[in-house]
């Protein structure tokens, strides 16, 4: 294995900029690594060898011509298959989009290209980003580099596994209820959900539009911040994009790395008592909180009484929005079409296509959402869930009058064995117990490794007020400096 795959994005960019190595060499090293391990890890659904090498050559040419390179030029990045990539297959982990090559790039991908990063390919995910393990991918699960018999989290398990397996130094995920942070936690990597609207949804295949948030995944906090800076910011093509500059997350990460948190007040959520969480996870969380206190942070308890309703509210709101968003997959507009033999009605073809194209979890969500939105039940379910969402937002607002940021474990449990939670959907939903509140509120939240439990990574979550993404990076970088990064076993 080449050493180049062990470097951080910052280190790679430095070597490329100084000419000590070329973007092509870096890219080839990562393609070789993918070739060597991805048959076991299955982080990728599609590897774009030609496209990656061409992008790398373009960076090397620009450097040779004396052009100024951006801070991540020449750095490889893996992109969750939920984002459209022009001419490159985009499946969303579903059979219904198998073979679809989008005619346009999502804004995130466009910004990645403009920044001179090198897209290696598209990563595996639970179908339509619904799940917490990648076991709901129509193309088979990804595996956790810490233990190949365990899940790498989900829905963005491929993006996290690619980092932990050193197949890519950076990746992109999307977080609707935890799909960036939870995979980060269970693979010992960093995953950040930006403020909702801080990163563009243009070209992000929609699951739950009021929650979906693309964001950065990396092995270090500073790398995540650099990626965040590149992909974030206003996009007129997304109606919910915030017309404000990206907070200076890179400066914040650098500040945090100095290890001084004097004057920073952090709140432990009283209601996250640890009930339903593994004792080893809670112990690692408490040790990390103590480490932050040693850096000068003041740690207090803050009550968020409505957080306990976040999971049920989410599992009404997200399926409701999904039932509407996924209506467009009808066998007419994109991808799969089944039964179009000239003798069947349009409705029959649609029905056969959706029956064959969607997996069981997606169908379950569509049915729950359709039910919750139906006229007789709208007030009792969807309407009620929206009221709960308001109460959760108020909990956050009042918490942030008392503290600068909230802290918790990212997930109640470490990576679980493949197959152990698929029989009962509720068991799978519990993986997002601690991550979902931030989605309902819309504020930024990040997961940083904070140690091991039973030899497996534990994630530490930092939640900040909307638009204060920089604040969470500061605390995250301080924590990383105190507890160190995690190195998975050699594959
Ligand atoms: N696991 C959650 C779900 O299944 C969250 C998914 C996500 O964030 N995309 O809906």
Range of lowest pLDDT (2-6, 190-194, 214-218, 237-241) = 2-6
In a domain, 72, yes or no: yes
Chain segment 366-409, per-residue pLDDT in tens = 999 999 999 999 999 999 999 999 999 999 999 999 999 999 99
- Centre of ligand 1 from the C-alpha of residue 389, in Å: 17
Residue 76 has pLDDT above 80, yes or no: yes
Average pLDDT over residues 273-292: 94
Residue 2 has pLDDT above 60, yes or no: no
Predicted confidence band of residue 334 (pLDDT cuts 50, 70, 90):
confident
In a domain, 63, yes or no: yes
Residue 65 has pLDDT above 70, yes or no: yes
Which two three-digit tokens encode residue 162? 């690619």
For residue 361, the ligand 1 atom closest to its alpha carbon is 4
Sorted by sequence, the CB contacts under 8 Å of residue 415 that are 6+ apart come out as 144, 146, 147, 150, 151, 152, 153, 186, 187, 456, 457
Sorted by sequence, the CB contacts under 8 Å of residue 490 that are 6+ apart come out as none
Residue 454, phi then psi, degrees to nearest 5: 55, 35
pLDDT for res 260: 98
- Contact 292/256 with Cβ under 8 angstroms? no
In a domain, 362, yes or no: no
Per-state percent for the chain, helix, strand, coil, to nearest 5: 45, 15, 40
Chain segment 223-235, per-residue pLDDT in tens = 999 999 999 999 9
Predicted confidence band of residue 275 (pLDDT cuts 50, 70, 90):
confident
In a domain, 315, yes or no: no
Chain segment 397-447, per-residue pLDDT in tens = 999 999 999 999 999 999 999 999 999 999 999 999 999 999 999 999 999
Average pLDDT over residues 352-362: 97
- Contact 108/199 with Cβ under 8 angstroms? yes
pLDDT for res 462: 98
| Rounded-to-integer distance, Cα 133 and Cα 392, Å | 26
Question: Mean pLDDT score of the chain, rounded to an integer?
Answer: 97
Average pLDDT over residues 12-28: 97
Average pLDDT over residues 118-131: 98
**CB 183 near ligand 1, within 6 Å:** no
Average pLDDT over residues 138-165: 98
Which two three-digit tokens encode residue 100? 């679809």
**% of the chain with per-residue pLDDT over 90:** 97
**CB 176 near ligand 1, within 6 Å:** yes
In a domain, 210, yes or no: yes
Which two three-digit tokens encode residue 12? 């790679």
**CB 412 near ligand 1, within 6 Å:** no
- Centre of ligand 1 from the C-alpha of residue 129, in Å: 6
Q: Where are the alpha helices (DSSP H) in 257-383?
A: 279-294, 310-325, 346-357, 360-373
**Residue 364, helix vs strand vs coil:** helix
Full-model pTM:
0.98
- Centre of ligand 1 from the C-alpha of residue 433, in Å: 11
Residue 218 has pLDDT above 90, yes or no: yes
In a domain, 407, yes or no: no
Residue 182's CATH number? 3.90.1300.10
**Long-range contacts for 48-52 (Cβ within 8 Å, ≥24 apart)?**
48/85, 48/88, 48/119, 48/120, 48/121, 48/122, 51/88, 51/119, 52/27, 52/76, 52/118, 52/119, 52/120, 52/121
Q: How many CA atoms lie within 13 A of 182 on its CB side?
A: 37
Q: How many CA atoms lie within 13 A of 232 on its CB side?
A: 28
In a domain, 403, yes or no: no
Give the N- to C-terminal CA distance of the chain in Å, as an integer.
10
Q: Where are the alpha helices (DSSP H) in 360-432?
A: 360-373, 384-402, 425-429
**CB 177 near ligand 1, within 6 Å:** yes
Residue 31 has pLDDT above 70, yes or no: yes
| Rounded-to-integer distance, Cα 2 and Cα 29, Å | 6
Nearest CA to ligand 1 atom 5: 177
Polymer length of the chain? 491
Chain segment 463-473, per-residue pLDDT in tens = 999 999 999 99
**CB 135 near ligand 1, within 6 Å:** no
In a domain, 251, yes or no: yes
Residue 1 has pLDDT above 80, yes or no: no
Which two three-digit tokens encode residue 281? 């996870």
pLDDT for res 416: 98
Residue 327 has pLDDT above 50, yes or no: yes
Tell whether the torsion through CA atoms of 74, 75, 81 and 82 is positive or negative. negative
pLDDT for res 276: 86
Residue 36 has pLDDT above 80, yes or no: yes
| Rounded-to-integer distance, Cα 327 and Cα 204, Å | 16
Q: How many domains does the chain have?
A: 1
Catalytic residues: 80, 155, 179
**CB 159 near ligand 1, within 6 Å:** no
- Centre of ligand 1 from the C-alpha of residue 183, in Å: 11
Burial of residue 386, with CB atoms counted within 10 A of its CB: 0-12 exposed, 13-18 middle, 19 or more buried: middle
Sorted by sequence, the CB contacts under 8 Å of residue 62 that are 6+ apart come out as 69, 73, 116
Average pLDDT over residues 66-79: 97
- Contact 192/228 with Cβ under 8 angstroms? yes
Q: Which domain holds residue 227?
A: 3-258
- Contact 193/444 with Cβ under 8 angstroms? yes
Chain segment 287-316, per-residue pLDDT in tens = 999 999 999 999 999 999 999 999 999 999
């Amino acid at each position: 294995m080449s050493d180049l795959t062990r470097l951080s994005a910052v280190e790679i960019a430095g070597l490329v900029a100084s000419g000590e190595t070329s973007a092509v060499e870096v890219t080839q090293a990562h393609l070789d690594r993918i070739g060597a391990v991805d048959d076991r890890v299955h982080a990728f659904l599609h590897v774009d060898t030609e496209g990656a090498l061409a992008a790398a050559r373009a960076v090397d040419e620009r450097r040779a011509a004396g052009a100024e390179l951006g801070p991540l030029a020449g750095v490889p990045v893996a992109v969750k298959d939920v984002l459209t990539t022009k001419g490159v297959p985009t499946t969303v982990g579903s059979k219904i989009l198998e073979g679809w090559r989008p005619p346009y790039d999502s804004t995130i991908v466009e910004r990645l290209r403009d920044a001179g990063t090198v897209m290696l390919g598209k990563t595996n995910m639970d179908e339509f980003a619904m799940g917490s393990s990648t076991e709901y991918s129509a193309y088979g699960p990804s595996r956790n580099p810490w233990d190949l018999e365990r899940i790498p989290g989900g829905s963005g398990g491929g993006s996290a596994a690619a980092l932990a397996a050193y197949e890519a130094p950076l990746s992109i995920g999307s977080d609707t209820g935890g799909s960036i942070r939870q995979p980060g936690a269970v693979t010992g990597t960093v995953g950040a959900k930006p403020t909702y609207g801080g990163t563009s949804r243009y070209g992000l295949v929609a699951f739950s539009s009021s929650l979906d948030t693309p964001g950065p995944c990396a092995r270090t906090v500073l790398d995540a911040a650099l990626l965040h800076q590149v992909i974030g910011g206003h996009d007129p093509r997304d109606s919910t994009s915030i017309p404000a500059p990206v907070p200076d997350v890179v400066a914040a990460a650098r500040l945090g790395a100095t290890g001084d948190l004097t004057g920073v007040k952090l709140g432990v959520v009283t209601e996250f008592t640890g009930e339903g969480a593994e004792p080893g996870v809670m112990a690692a969380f408490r040790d990390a909180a103590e480490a932050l206190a040693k850096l000068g942070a003041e740690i207090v308890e803050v009550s968020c009484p409505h957080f306990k309703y976040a999971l049920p509210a989410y599992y009404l709101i997200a399926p409701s929005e999904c039932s509407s968003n996924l209506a467009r997959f009808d066998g007419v507009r994109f991808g799969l079409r089944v039964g179009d033999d000239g003798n069947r009605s349009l409705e029959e073809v649609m029905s056969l296509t959706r029956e064959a194209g969607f997996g069981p979890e997606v169908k379950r969500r569509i049915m729950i959402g359709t039910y919750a939105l139906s006229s007789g039940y709208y007030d009792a379910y969807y309407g009620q869930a929206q009221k709960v969402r308001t109460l959760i937002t108020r909990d956050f607002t009042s918490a942030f009058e008392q503290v600068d940021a909230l802290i918790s474990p990212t997930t109640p449990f470490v990576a679980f064995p493949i197959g152990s939670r698929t029989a009962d959907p509720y068991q799978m939903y519990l993986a997002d117990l601690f991550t979902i509140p931030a989605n309902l509120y819309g504020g930024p939240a990040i997961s940083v490794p904070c140690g091991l439990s039973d030899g497996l990574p534990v994630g530490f979550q930092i939640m900040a007020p909307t638009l204060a993404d920089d604040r969470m990076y500061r605390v995250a970088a301080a924590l990383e400096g105190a507890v160190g990064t995690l190195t998975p076993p050699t594959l």
